[in-house]
C-alpha cells in the first residue's frame, strides 16, 4: 500500500473497533447509537493547528469513536479532569511544552488511558531521543492503516487494563472480606488499602481499640505483592526491650532463633500497639526503618525485603509532644497512614456485621443460621459501642451461645448491653483482678440461667474450670440442694 499523509485525498481503509458501531458509507448520514448499542470509545485529540486537528478528529470519527478536540495544554488538563478517555492523541508532541505535566494528569486520572504522539518527519523524538513516559510514537507521513492500527492497539490495551483493574478490585474485595461494611467510611478505607498495597513504604494503621486495626494490616498484606510470603505480628505491649530485640533480630548463634527479620523475608511484619515500645528500643527501631527507607530509595537488594506495618490505638503526635515517643520514629512510621473508622460513625454497617458474625458462629458450631428481629437490630443500632466492632462481635457470640431460639430478640441482647461500658468501667475501679473475675463469672452464669455448658462456652473456659470456680464461690454442685436458690440470687444481682 502506498504511503500518504493523513488528510490527503485518499479514502482511508477503515478498521473496526470492538464496541464501536460500523462505519457508515461516505454518502450516508451518521446516526447516533441507540441506547442498546455499546458505548463508543472516547478519544481526546490535541493539536495547536486547526487544520491538522480537524483532519485527525474526522479520521477518528470515521472509525466509530467519539472525539473531543482541544488546542492547548490547559484545555487538555481541563478535559482530562472532567471526562473519561481511552486514548489521548497529541499532535506535534516533540514541540509541545508542558508535555510531562499533561502526561502526569493523564496518569492521575486513569491508568488505562493510552497516549499516541504524532511527530514530524525530521524529528529525532521517539527514534533517537526516547520519550520520558510510555506512549506510541507515530511519525509523519503515515498511512491510514498505520494510524488505524495504532488506534486499535490502543483501544485493546485500554480495555485490557480496565478489565485487569476490574478483576483486581474483585480480588481486593475477597482479600478484605473481614472488613465488612458498605458505608462511605468503609469504601474509602478499602480504596486507601488498595492504593497503599502498591506502595512499599511503612504503613501506620490508627484506630480505636476494637475497631479492626489488625484486620486492616492483614488485609493490606493480602492485597500486596507480598501476599504469598509470611505475615508476622509482634504485640509490642507484651514484650520488654530485650524480648522485642530477640523477636526481631534473633540470636547470633548457629542454633538460635533467626528472628522475624529473617523469617518474614519477602513478607510483612506488624508492630502492633507500637505506642508501648520503650524509649530505649524506639531509637533502634527508628534506625532500622531508616536503613530500610534508604535501601528502598537506592534499590539496594541486599537489605531485608520486608514491609513494616505499625498499628496503634493512641495519638502518637500527642505522645511525641509529651516526649514519650520519638519524633524520628514517628516520621518513619507515618509514610502512609490508614485510619480505622469507629463503629459509631458507620452504624448502617451493623446489620451486615451482625449477619457476618452469625454466619461465622453457624459455620463454627454447625448450627442453622439464626434470624435477628427488627427490634433487636434497632437496639443494636442505638447502642454507642465504645468497644467498637469487637464489642458487637462479643455480644452476638454471647447471645447465640446463651439462647437456642430461631431468632435473636431484643430481650436476648439486653443482658449483654445493660449498664454500658462506661458504668462497668466505673464499677470495676478499685476491684482486684480476682474480684473482677468472680463478678464476670457470676453475672454470665446468671444470664445463662444456670446453664454451665453455655456459661463455659461464652467465657471460653473448660467446664471443669467453671465448676471449680463456682464451688470456690460457694455454689452447690449441679442439681444439689440450694443450687436454684443461689442461681436466683445471682440473677437478681446481675439485674
H-type alpha helices, 119-200: 144-175, 184-197
Q: What's the rounded Cα separation, in Å, for the pair 47 and 360?
A: 59
Pair (325, 472) in one structural domain? no
Pair (438, 425) in one structural domain? no
| Residue 234 confidence class, pLDDT cut points 50, 70, 90 | very high
Contacts 24+ apart (CB under 8 A), 315-321: 316/204, 316/206, 316/274, 316/275, 319/275
Range of the domain at 264: 176-341
| Residue 271 confidence class, pLDDT cut points 50, 70, 90 | very high
Asked if residue 7 belongs to a domain, the reply is no
The pLDDT value given to residue 482:
45
The pLDDT value given to residue 486:
52
Residue-wise pLDDT tens digits, 98-135:
888 888 888 777 778 899 999 888 787 877 777 778 88
Residue reference for cell 492500527 = 149
Neighbouring C-alpha atoms within 13 Å toward the C-beta of 132: 8
Pair (371, 424) in one structural domain? yes
Asked if residue 78 belongs to a domain, the reply is yes
**How many domains, in total, are found in the chain?**
4
Pair (359, 439) in one structural domain? no
Pair (186, 293) in one structural domain? yes
| Residue where one domain finishes, among candidates 385, 403, 429 | 429
Asked if residue 224 belongs to a domain, the reply is yes
Pair (219, 323) in one structural domain? yes
Residue-wise pLDDT tens digits, 132-147:
788 888 888 888 899 9
Q: What's the rounded Cα separation, in Å, for the pair 276 and 454?
A: 36
The pLDDT value given to residue 492:
52
The pLDDT value given to residue 298:
66
Residue-wise pLDDT tens digits, 144-160:
899 989 999 998 998 88
Q: What's the rounded Cα separation, in Å, for the pair 109 and 77?
A: 10
Asked if residue 31 belongs to a domain, the reply is no
| Residue where one domain finishes, among candidates 315, 341, 367 | 341
Pair (53, 145) in one structural domain? yes
CATH code at 150? 3.40.50.2300
Tell me if the bond preceding 396 is cis, omega within 30° of 0: no
Residue 399 buriedness (CB in 10 A; 0-12 / 13-18 / 19+): buried
The pLDDT value given to residue 4:
35
Dihedral angle over CA of 163, 168, 174, 179, nearest 10: -120
Q: Which residues pair with 70 in a beta bridge?
A: 46
The pLDDT value given to residue 13:
41
CATH code at 378? 1.10.8.60
| Assigned C-alpha cell, 370 | 439464626
What pairing do the DSSP bridges indicate for beta strands 42-46 and 87-91? parallel
| Assigned C-alpha cell, 304 | 531485608
Asked if residue 37 belongs to a domain, the reply is no
Pair (215, 325) in one structural domain? yes
Amino acid at each position: 500500500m502506498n504511503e500518504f499523509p493523513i488528510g490527503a485525498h485518499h479514502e482511508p481503509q477503515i478498521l473496526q473497533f470492538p464496541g464501536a458501531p460500523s462505519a457508515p458509507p461516505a454518502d450516508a448520514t451518521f446516526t447516533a447509537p441507540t441506547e442498546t448499542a455499546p458505548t463508543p470509545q472516547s478519544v481526546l485529540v490535541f493539536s495547536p493547528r486547526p487544520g491538522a486537528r480537524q483532519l485527525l478528529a474526522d479520521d477518528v470519527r470515521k472509525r466509530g469513536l467519539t472525539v473531543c478536540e482541544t488546542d492547548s495544554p490547559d484545555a487538555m488538563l481541563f478535559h482530562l479532569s472532567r471526562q473519561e478517555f481511552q486514548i489521548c492523541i497529541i499532535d506535534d508532541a516533540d514541540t509541545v511544552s508542558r508535555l510531562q505535566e499533561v502526561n502526569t494528569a493523564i496518569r492521575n486520572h486513569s491508568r488505562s488511558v493510552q497516549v499516541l504522539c504524532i511527530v514530524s518527519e525530521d524529528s529525532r523524538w521517539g527514534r533517537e531521543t526516547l520519550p520520558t513516559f510510555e506512549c506510541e510514537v507515530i511519525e509523519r507521513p503515515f498511512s491510514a492503516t498505520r494510524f488505524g492500527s495504532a488506534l486499535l492497539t490502543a483501544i485493546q490495551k485500554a480495555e485490557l487494563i480496565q478489565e485487569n483493574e476490574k478483576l483486581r478490585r474483585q480480588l481486593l474485595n475477597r482479600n478484605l472480606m473481614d472488613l465488612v461494611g458498605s458505608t462511605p467510611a468503609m469504601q474509602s478505607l478499602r480504596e486507601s488499602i488498595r492504593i497503599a498495597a502498591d506502595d512499599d513504604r511503612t504503613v501506620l494503621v490508627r484506630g480505636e481499640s476494637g475497631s479492626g486495626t489488625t484486620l486492616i494490616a492483614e488485609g493490606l498484606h493480602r492485597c500486596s505483592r507480598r501476599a504469598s510470603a509470611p505475615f508476622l505480628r509482634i504485640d509490642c505491649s507484651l514484650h520488654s526491650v530485650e524480648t522485642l530485640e530477640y523477636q526481631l533480630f534473633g540470636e547470633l548463634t548457629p542454633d538460635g532463633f533467626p528472628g522475624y527479620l529473617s523469617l518474614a523475608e519477602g513478607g510483612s511484619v506488624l508492630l502492633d500497639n507500637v505506642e508501648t515500645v520503650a524509649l530505649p528500643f524506639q531509637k533502634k527501631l527508628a534506625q532500622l526503618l531508616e536503613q530500610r527507607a534508604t535501601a528502598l530509595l537506592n534499590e539496594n537488594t541486599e537489605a531485608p525485603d520486608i514491609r513494616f506495618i505499625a498499628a496503634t490505638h493512641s495519638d502518637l503526635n500527642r505522645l511525641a509532644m509529651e516526649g514519650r515517643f520519638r519524633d524520628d520514629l514517628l516520621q518513619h512510621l507515618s509514610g502512609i497512614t490508614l485510619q480505622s473508622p469507629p463503629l459509631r460513625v458507620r452504624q448502617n454497617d451493623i446489620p451486615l456485621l451482625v449477619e457476618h458474625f452469625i454466619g461465622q458462629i453457624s459455620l463454627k458450631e454447625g448450627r442453622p443460621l439464626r434470624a435477628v428481629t427488627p427490634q433487636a437490630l434497632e437496639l443494636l443500632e442505638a447502642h454507642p459501642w465504645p468497644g467498637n466492632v469487637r464489642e458487637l462481635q462479643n455480644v452476638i457470640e454471647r447471645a447465640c451461645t446463651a439462647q437456642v431460639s430461631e431468632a435473636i430478640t431484643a430481650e436476648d441482647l439486653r443482658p449483654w448491653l445493660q449498664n454500658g461500658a462506661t458504668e462497668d468501667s466505673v464499677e470495676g475501679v478499685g476491684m482486684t483482678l480476682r474480684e473482677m473475675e468472680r463478678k464476670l463469672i457470676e453475672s454470665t452464669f446468671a444470664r445463662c440461667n444456670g446453664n454451665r455448658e453455655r456459661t463455659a462456652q461464652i467465657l471460653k473456659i473448660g467446664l471443669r474450670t467453671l465448676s471449680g470456680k463456682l464451688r470456690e464461690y460457694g455454689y452447690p454442685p449441679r442439681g444439689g440442694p440450694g443450687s436454684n436458690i443461689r442461681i436466683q440470687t445471682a440473677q437478681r444481682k446481675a439485674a
